[in-house]
Structure 1
Amino acid sequence: MALHRPGRLAHARTALRLRAATRPRSVVLIDVHGELTAGDLQGHLQLLERRGAERPRLGELPPWAPLRQVLVTALAGHGHLDLRSSGTTGAPRVLERGPLTAPQLRTLTDLARRIGVRRGARVATAIPGVHAHGLLLALAALSAGSPLVDVSHLRVVDRVALLHRTSPRMLVGTPVHLADILAADRELSGHVPLRIDRIVSTTDVLPDELRADLARHWHARVHDVYGSVETGTLTVDGRPLHGVEIRVRDGVLRTRTSFTRRRWLVTDHGEIDEQGSVHVTARADAPDASPGMLRDPRGVVRLLQSQDGIRSVHLRFVPDEELGRRTVAHVVLEEEEEHEEGRVITPHGVRALVRDRLGASSVPREVRISSRGR
């Protein structure tokens, strides 16, 4: 993916105008509502500009905003981005960023090259577009001419069905998203699993067992992408990207990139091996938001009890040898949900929902699902 403009948004808008003029029917995005073409997207932007209204802000969109709405809002911002964190170590927060600089673009171009983004190849994303990783992926795909498949916020059966219908070459998600899709594909696809060449895991630490399961099930190459809103993307499969410097002291990683204005920032706990590969072992901050505890347990209960098919939710803490204590969410389904074909509500799906709406630090360590009265 070649980027030559001084900002990702400027390049994306230029690429969109060119496609709208030369190939207005070329597909930009596919979701449950159908196909969004280059001409459609350009028309939405022109309509916003003709209205002369105050520019919409990404930070004001809800966590469940569809990717097509996120794209229109981002491109209407004329170079200004409101990047929302994933909430790994606390409540998701919004950071305003100006146009991307040339050094930042070189880092992102190296990222696209390493994970294999290429023109015309469909890229499915399970990451909500309001989050920084989801938004930058969408803008990168638009610039590269890669149609996006938006499977974020879908029920598990709808997610797998859309993936089968669109046959993306690449699937991007956090580990909890990927585990959800993997379990659903095993259960619902029978002897015809999805055909995906590359899997890209981002935001959270990718467990070795899950990485092996993903590669084995889909016969795919799995990439582990590490970074944050503050530092930008740092590594692919442990190897630092162009322009990224990483050091380790006392088991803590320190990073300097063009996104940090060349200042050194503490990121996470980790190590660097003799080959120069970076290995993240744990989050460095917010110890009270570790995988064993929850940042907002009441918010988790309210969210889950508002979902169709869930009768009740109970959280409890149990002893854990590694974490001290860990959170277990007991989810009781309505009777009709228990018998619905393909079972919409799964443990992985519950964890993905909480992560998307409340942030990764609110995700229960374990989810147990039972039917009413069991």
Structure 2
Amino acid sequence: MTAAMKRAVRALGTGWHIGSTMARRGLLTPGRPDRVVRQVSTLARWGLGLAGEFASAARRDPEWTAVVDEDGPVSFAELDERTDRLARVLAEGRPEGPPRVAVLCRNHTGMIATLIACGKLGADAVLFNTGLSAQQVRQAVDDHDIAVLVADTEFLPLPDLPDGVRVIAAEGDGADGLRALAEAAEPGGHSPPAATGRTIVLTSGTTGTPKGARRPKPALHSLTALLSRIPLKVGDRIHIAAPIFHTWGYAALQLAIAMRATIVLRRRFDPEPSLRTLSEHDCTAMFAVPVMLQRLLELPPEVRDGCDTASLRVVATSGSSYPGDLATRFMDAFGDVLYNLYGTTEVSWISIATPEELRAHPDTSGRPPHGTTVLLLDEDGREVDRGVPGRIFVGNEMLFEGYTDGSRRSTFDGTMDSGDLGHRDESGLLYVDGRADDMIISGGENVFPSEVENLLARLPQVREVAVVGVADEEFGQRLVAHVVVAEGHELDAETVRDHVRTHLARFSVPRDVRFLEQLPRNATGKVVPRLLGD
């Protein structure tokens, strides 16, 4: 078979996959002919992306509820008109072209409106982590050449911003508030911008200063790749609990708008109110990070039993691996609805684990979705055998376009280094062993802290645990376990070491065990190792 024939076969396979997935998820369901024509023509003009997907959804189902937050619901038509006005607000005083807009917001309608308006304007949107200090915000504004900062009032005022930066309050009805400015702006639609703006997501910064990562514009196959493993449907009611400024929360927003879903938001995740939100709005899906599942399971049984979550079909998580037996405990409580996406800011998705896979192998990262290539390579660039750890390289349509400081990740044969180490079992399921720079060498032996973490997390006395490597004069490096004891339990350091000694090799036993009241986490729920102490 010639190369051209192989490309044609691959194209046919991709086309069939896209069509069949869209049909299964309800994206090809017939509707009113006039609305379908407006929907398709709008999407053809604007292309995929938040602005195009939202505008086309508003043409198809204008009366549907687009977003519900703590201030109430707003329809697709209302939010479409509001974002037209808001795009004009953002463009004021910028005859030379669209501004670069920073968004420092929690999860609410105003944040979504700002991102859609940026898309309509063709402006770059930079998502700021709400956990940044005032000094870090000022530095990020300067580093990313920000012209407009849209921020929640809790983060304002921000002194010492560079001259010329326009600040807009995302909330409230004051004269400088987002809604008031939008209502005062001229109505009327927008034409697609000459150049598509980019979304820039700041890396989590768990090991250093956050960097901006430029996200590519999504393609149709990008959407169907995720939908092939996560069974969302048109018209779902999706609670996005993960912060939208994070890659996973932003991906949830993109998927929800593409599915013409009703997006249900709370500004902050709080276990009991969030559980009641799922119940009160009959949510069919939730996007979260793993620590949120842990917090839901810690609610008293009478609280969980008082909330009806029978409508929940999908709980999709990402951001970190599941500690211990969290996956099975959650599914025992809420049903087999759990899907875990393994990915990074730089390479987007890598693999997705389904409920069936998590039931059989709670620590697996699943399998790559359609169109994604995953290579496990040794230091010489050769693929490793099953069961042998290797560097995880990933190829898909959503590899990031580089950091805003000009640096990039290393690549190999069309794939990009994820920064992680992992292995496959005999059936092809992927497992993540840890960050490449987390693996330590203690007394000449390779040790993965995550293996010890998962073992300790299964102890009933442990609420949460983080294991890290530190320098050691005798062995080169050693493990330190930071443990938060579960309420009503007692635990001592020797019991922790004995448990590891019983189940793992001697070089995996943590030399030091430290007990904390809580682990230091960032706004996305990830443990920040540098804050654990020496």
Partner of 2:398, secondary structure, is helix
Alignment of 1:15 onto 2:202: no
Q: State how far apart, in whole Å, the 2-side matches of 1:325 and 1:281 are.
A: 22
Alignment of 1:282 onto 2:449: no
Report the Cα offset of residue 185 of structure 1.
6.7
Q: State how far apart, in whole Å, the 2-side matches of 1:267 and 1:236 are.
A: 18
Per the alignment, residue 325 of structure 2 pairs with: 209
Per the alignment, residue 254 of structure 2 pairs with: 139
Alignment of 1:177 onto 2:315: no
Structure-to-structure mapping, 1:67-82, within 5 angstroms: 67-75=108-116, 76-77=118-119, 78=122, 79-82=197-200
Partner residue of 2:243 out of 128, 132, 146:
128
Alignment of 1:148 onto 2:287: no
**Amino acid across the alignment from 1:27:** T
Partner residue of 2:393 out of 251, 255, 262:
255
Q: State how far apart, in whole Å, the 1-side matches of 2:523 and 2:108 are.
A: 13
Q: State how far apart, in whole Å, the 1-side matches of 2:44 and 2:527 are.
A: 32
Q: State how far apart, in whole Å, the 2-side matches of 1:185 and 1:112 are.
A: 34
**Amino acid across the alignment from 1:150:** L
Q: State how far apart, in whole Å, the 1-side matches of 2:289 and 2:46 are.
A: 23
Report the Cα offset of residue 49 of structure 1.
2.5
Unaligned runs of 5+ in 2: 1-20, 28-39, 123-196, 354-365, 379-388, 402-413, 441-448, 451-465, 470-492, 498-508
Structure-to-structure mapping, 1:299-318, within 5 angstroms: none
Q: State how far apart, in whole Å, the 1-side matches of 2:81 and 2:515 are.
A: 47
Structure 1 pair 147/86, CA: closer, same or farther in 2 (3 Å)?
farther
**Amino acid across the alignment from 1:240:** P
Report the Cα offset of residue 168 of structure 1.
1.0
Contact 1:231-1:256 at 8 Å conserved across structures: yes
Q: Which has the greater radius of gyration?
A: 2
Per the alignment, residue 232 of structure 1 pairs with: 348
Report the Cα offset of residue 213 of structure 1.
1.0
Per the alignment, residue 241 of structure 1 pairs with: 369
Q: State how far apart, in whole Å, the 1-side matches of 2:254 and 2:46 are.
A: 7
**Amino acid across the alignment from 2:522:** R
RMSD: 3.6
Contact 1:90-1:286 at 8 Å conserved across structures: no
Partner of 2:229, secondary structure, is helix
Q: State how far apart, in whole Å, the 1-side matches of 2:110 and 2:202 are.
A: 15
Per the alignment, residue 214 of structure 2 pairs with: 96
Contact 1:118-1:144 at 8 Å conserved across structures: yes
Moved more, 146-155 or 86-95: 86-95
List per-residue Cα deviations over 1:224-262 (Å, max 9, x = no partner): 210111111111111112232222245233213133482
List per-residue Cα deviations over 1:95-140 (Å, max 9, x = no partner): 123423x4xx424421123111110111222210000111111011
Report the Cα offset of residue 156 of structure 1.
2.8
Partner of 1:15, secondary structure, is helix
Q: State how far apart, in whole Å, the 2-side matches of 1:148 and 1:239 are.
A: 28
List per-residue Cα deviations over 1:282-303 (Å, max 9, x = no partner): 2223569983359xxxxxxxxx
Structure 1 pair 27/177, CA: closer, same or farther in 2 (3 Å)?
same
Q: Which has the higher contact order (CA 8 A, sep 6+)?
A: 1
**Amino acid across the alignment from 1:49:** A
Count, aligned residues: 319
Q: State how far apart, in whole Å, the 2-side matches of 1:22 and 1:198 are.
A: 25
Structure 1 pair 85/326, CA: closer, same or farther in 2 (3 Å)?
farther
Contact 1:270-1:280 at 8 Å conserved across structures: yes
Partner of 1:162, secondary structure, is helix
Report the Cα offset of residue 274 of structure 1.
1.6
**Amino acid across the alignment from 2:372:** V
Alignment of 1:39 onto 2:77: yes
**Amino acid across the alignment from 2:376:** V
Unaligned runs of 5+ in 1: 295-317, 332-349, 366-374
Structure 1 pair 6/363, CA: closer, same or farther in 2 (3 Å)?
farther
Q: State how far apart, in whole Å, the 1-side matches of 2:438 and 2:530 are.
A: 14
TM-score, scaled relative to structure 2? 0.52
Partner of 1:259, secondary structure, is coil
Per the alignment, residue 304 of structure 2 pairs with: 189
Partner residue of 2:523 out of 341, 348, 356:
356
Partner of 1:17, secondary structure, is helix
Contact 1:8-1:139 at 8 Å conserved across structures: no
Q: State how far apart, in whole Å, the 2-side matches of 1:45 and 1:183 are.
A: 39
